[in-house]
A and B are shown apart, each in its own frame.
Chain A
C-alpha cells in the first residue's frame, strides 16, 4: 500500500473584500497508509480542499503533500498518474458523448494504437458490467450508471490511489449500494469524502474535518459518533413552544350561514 504524506499543510485563498486571506485548511499533518480512508465533516469544512491536495488540483500555501514520495507541486504529472480522482458530479467529469469514448480518452496517452485502445476500453467496461451502456449517450444514463462510468474511466489507467469527492451525494439508495459494492471490490488505496455514514463504516480509518482542521482521526464507528456529537452541538436551539401551524396558513373555517 502506498503512502500519502501531508506535512504541516495550510491552504489559504484571497477573497474579494477581505483584507486577510481565508484559511481553508490549517495545520494538517497526516500519514495515510491504510487501504480505505474516509473523510467526513460539514459542508464547507474543508473536505474537498483536503482531497484536491492529494491530486495536485490545489497546491498548499504552506507545507508539503507527497504521494509515494512524489511532491504534488513539483511532480504533479507523476502524482496524477498515481492518483485517480472521481468528482461528485459525473457529468462534469465525463467529457465524451458516450462512456466507451470517455474510457478510450483516458487511454489515449498510454495506448497509441486505436485497436488496442478499443480492446482495453472494452475490457474495462466488461469488468464493471457497463458494456450494455457503453454506446449510450451519457445523458441517457442514470446517476449511478454515470458515476460508475466515470469511475471506470478513471480506473482505466490503473491508478494506485483513488480519491473520491462525495461520490454518492447524487445517488439514490440502490445506486449507492452499487457504488459501495464496486468500491469494496477494488484493490486501490481509497481516500473518500462522503456524507453517507453507512459508506464510512467500510473505512479502515476516518478523519473528521471541522473548520479546516482534522478534529478526529481514528476508527469508523468512533469517528461517526464524534461527527454526530459535533453536528448536534452546532445546531441552533428549536423553540418547541412555537405554534405548529402559523395563523397565515391555518385551515380556512367556513363562515356560519
Chain B
C-alpha cells in the first residue's frame, strides 16, 4: 500500500530540547496555534508564527524532508482555499488563512514527531481522568485517538491504491470507481481493527476483574 505517510509525522527519536520539553507544553503550543488561527488578523504575524514553528520542527532534527512530507498532502487544498479567499476577500486575508492552517499542521507535526505514541497516550489518559466521574474511560479515550491517527494514513493509502487500479482500468475520471472501493475498504478495515482490538482485549470497558459478553 502506498500513500501511508499522510499528513502527520511519525515519532523521530532524539534528545533535542523540543523532544525533552514537557508534554503539557507541546499540547499547549498545538492548542495555542489552533486558537491563534481565529485571533490573528495580520498575515505578517501568521507568517512569523509559521517561521517559528518551522524553526522548532527543524531544531528537533526531524529534517526538511519530513517537514515537507507533512505539508505536501494539503498543498492542493491550501491552493484552492487561498485562491477562493483571494477572489472573495483579497490577498492579505487569503494569505492569513493559508498561513494559519500551515501553522496548525506544523505544530501538530512537532507534537507527533517529538513524542512517542505511548507518551502521547499517557498524556491523553491524564487529561481524560477528570471525565471518569461522568462515566468516561480514559484508556478507551486514548485508544480512540491512537486509532484515529493510525487510520488516517491507512485511508490515504487505500485511496492511493484504488486510484492506481482505476487508472490501470481507464476509470480515473469515474468518481464511483474511486469513492466506492475506498469506502468499502475503509469499512472492512474498521471491522478488522475492531476484531483485532477485541481479540487482544483492548478498549474493553471496566476493570480486569469483571467479565464481559462475547458477540455473535
The one of A75, A85, A96, A157 in contact with B211, judged by C-beta atoms closer than 8 angstroms, is: A75
Q: Chain B interface: which size bin?
A: 35 or more
CB-CB under 8 A for A57 and B146, given A76-B214, A92-B189, A117-B118: no
Which residues in B have their C-beta under 8 angstroms from that of A58? 214, 216
Closest A residue to B154 by CB, please name it: A91
The one of A56, A76, A96, A135 in contact with B150, judged by C-beta atoms closer than 8 angstroms, is: A96
Closest B residue to A93 by CB, please name it: B196
CB-CB under 8 A for A76 and B199, given A97-B149, A135-B13: no
CB distance from B46 to the nearest CB of A (A): 30
CB-CB under 8 A for A85 and B200, given A72-B214, A76-B211, A98-B10: yes
Measured between alpha carbons, how far is A78 from B210 in the docked complex, in Å? Answer: 9
**B213 x A74 contact (CB < 8 A):** yes
* Interface residue stretch chosen among A106-114, A124-132, A239-247: A106-114
Which residues in A have their C-beta under 8 angstroms from that of B193? 92, 95
Query: Mask for A75-104, Cβ within 8 A of B = 1, else 0?
Result: 111111100110101011101111001001
Closest A residue to B10 by CB, please name it: A97
Which residues in A have their C-beta under 8 angstroms from that of B214? 56-59, 72-73, 76, 79
Which residues in A have their C-beta under 8 angstroms from that of B200? 80, 84-85, 106, 153-154, 157
Query: Is B35 engaged at the interface, CB distance under 8 Å to the other chain?
Result: no
Q: Using a Cβ–Cβ cut-off of 8 Å, how many residues does chain A contribute to the interface with B?
A: 43
Which residues in A have their C-beta under 8 angstroms from that of B119? 114
Contacts of B1-34 to chain A: CB distance below 8 A: 1, 4-5, 10-11, 13
* Interface residue stretch chosen among B83-91, B99-107, B169-177, B201-209: B201-209
CB distance from B122 to the nearest CB of A (A): 6
**B199 x A85 contact (CB < 8 A):** yes
Measured between alpha carbons, how far is A185 from B171 in the docked complex, in Å? Answer: 49
Query: Counting chain A CB atoms within 10 Å of each CB, which of B143, B147, B189, B200 scores highest?
Result: B200
Measured between alpha carbons, how far is A72 from B213 in the docked complex, in Å? Answer: 8
Which residues in A have their C-beta under 8 angstroms from that of B146? 95-96, 105
**A139 x B211 contact (CB < 8 A):** no
Which residues in A have their C-beta under 8 angstroms from that of B154? 91
CB distance from A18 to the nearest CB of B (A): 17
Query: Is A182 engaged at the interface, CB distance under 8 Å to the other chain?
Result: no
Query: Is A55 engaged at the interface, CB distance under 8 Å to the other chain?
Result: yes
CB distance from A26 to the nearest CB of B (A): 16
Query: Is A61 engaged at the interface, CB distance under 8 Å to the other chain?
Result: yes
Query: Is A137 engaged at the interface, CB distance under 8 Å to the other chain?
Result: yes
CB-CB under 8 A for A139 and B1, given A87-B196, A96-B117, A97-B117: yes
Which residues in A have their C-beta under 8 angstroms from that of B204? 77
**A114 x B118 contact (CB < 8 A):** yes
Query: Is B42 engaged at the interface, CB distance under 8 Å to the other chain?
Result: no
CB distance from B118 to the nearest CB of A (A): 5
Query: Is B116 engaged at the interface, CB distance under 8 Å to the other chain?
Result: yes
CB distance from A59 to the nearest CB of B (A): 4
Contacts of A135-162 to chain B: CB distance below 8 A: 135, 137, 139, 153-154, 157
Contacts of A33-92 to chain B: CB distance below 8 A: 55-61, 72-81, 84-85, 87, 89, 91-92
27 sample A-B contacts, Cβ–Cβ < 8 Å, listed by A number: A58-B214, A59-B216, A76-B211, A77-B201, A77-B204, A77-B208, A77-B210, A78-B211, A80-B198, A80-B200, A80-B201, A81-B208, A85-B200, A92-B192, A95-B147, A95-B196, A95-B202, A96-B117, A96-B146, A97-B10, A98-B10, A101-B117, A101-B118, A109-B139, A109-B208, A137-B10, A139-B153
Taking A80-B199, A92-B195 as known contacts, 8 extra A-B pairs with beta carbons closer than 8 A to each other, sorted by chain A number, are A57-B195, A77-B204, A81-B208, A89-B192, A101-B118, A108-B202, A137-B5, A157-B200
